Amino acid sequence: MTPEQSPLGKPAAYIEHYEPALLFPIARNNARETIGIGAQLPFFGTDIWNAYELSWLNPRGKPQVAIATFFVPADSPNIVESKSFKLYLGSFAQTPIESADAVRDMLKRDISAACGASVSVKLATPAEFHVLEFDELDGLSLDRLDLDAEVYHPDPELLTAAQQEAPVEETLVSNLLKSNCPVTGQPDWGSVQIHYVGPQIDHAGLLRYIISYRNHTGFHEQCVERIFVDIMRECRPVKLAVYARYTRRGGLDINPFRTNFNLPMPDNARTARQ
């Protein structure tokens, strides 16, 4: 199934009774092949999805609400197209379900089947909303740099590193990541965190490289993987982790994490823009 065959950019009826067939999987391998990723992935990681528009009816007909978080492994064969995800979640709205645990089990079963891998699901009920975290990505801000930028399509040649000098370890962040939906052309706004060990990456070149995604079309997961692959190829770090947090669209935010070394899972703290 290709993005062009998905519900993206097309009129769609909102079904309010549970319908897992609404989920539209898209294979990861096509986009990966275009950037030179084969069957042996150069990273591992997770896509963290947060869904803010989940509601159902209890057995007495009273509406219930929750925030759902999905942890999709990066080695799953498929992602789920986001509009189909929204339509699927909307189909719970007028569906009587026994409990929040039953909802979580349904979500886990359906999303795992669509992705082709085991997906973890957490539900936060209103009683837990007050403990949900807000924070900004840690690291040295690249956005502090006063520079000119004129490239708005991904250009890995903007990336350089001091290969002859001693390796460093640092964490760099930018709020200037923007890409566009490959089907609708709508903008996707994000923040990105890059942690690495290796030859020091030129900060100005890295910021210009991040800015160069501004007119690029690609799903969130694909953009993060391309950033990872380009940095590995051009700068040759020993260790690398790339984490992006995108602002929500359609009641969903998507936050891909890719790394080639053992790091704790990101804490899923929501940024101010999310």
Q: Catalytic positions, please?
A: 181, 188
- 140-259: CATH topology is GTP Cyclohydrolase I, domain 2 (3.30.1130)
Whether 140-259 and 3-131 are alike in CATH topology: the answer is yes
Q: In Å, what is the CA distance from 194 to each residue of 107, 169, 247, 253? A: 31, 11, 18, 19
- The CA distance from 14 to 250, in Å, is 13
Question: Quick one: pLDDT at residue 137?
Answer: 98
Are 222 and 244 contacting, i.e. CB atoms less than 8 angstroms apart?
Answer: no
Question: Quick one: pLDDT at residue 2?
Answer: 59
Per residue in 230-249, pLDDT (tens digit) is: 999 999 999 999 999 999 99
Residue 177 has pLDDT above 80, yes or no: yes
CA geometry: angle at 3 spanning 182 and 256, to 5°?
Answer: 65
- Phi and psi, residue 196, nearest 5°: -150, 160
Q: Where do the domains of the chain lie?
A: 3-131, 140-259
DSSP 40-97: S-S-EEEEEEEEEEEEEE-TTS-EEEEEEEEEEETT-SEEE-HHHHHHHHHTTTT-B-
Q: Domain 3-131 carries which CATH code?
A: 3.30.1130.10
Mean predicted confidence (pLDDT) in 257-269: 94
Question: Quick one: pLDDT at residue 247?
Answer: 97
pTM of the model: 0.93
Residue 198 region, left (φ>0) first, then alpha (ψ -120 to 50), else beta?
left
32-41 long-range Cβ contacts below 8 angstroms, 24+ apart: 32/222, 32/225, 35/225, 35/226, 35/229, 35/230, 36/229, 37/225, 37/229, 41/74, 41/75
From first CA to last CA, the distance across the chain in angstroms is 29
Per residue in 99-140, pLDDT (tens digit) is: 999 999 999 999 999 999 999 999 999 999 999 999 999 999
- The CA distance from 131 to 91, in Å, is 28
Mean predicted confidence (pLDDT) in 170-179: 98
Question: Quick one: pLDDT at residue 10?
Answer: 53
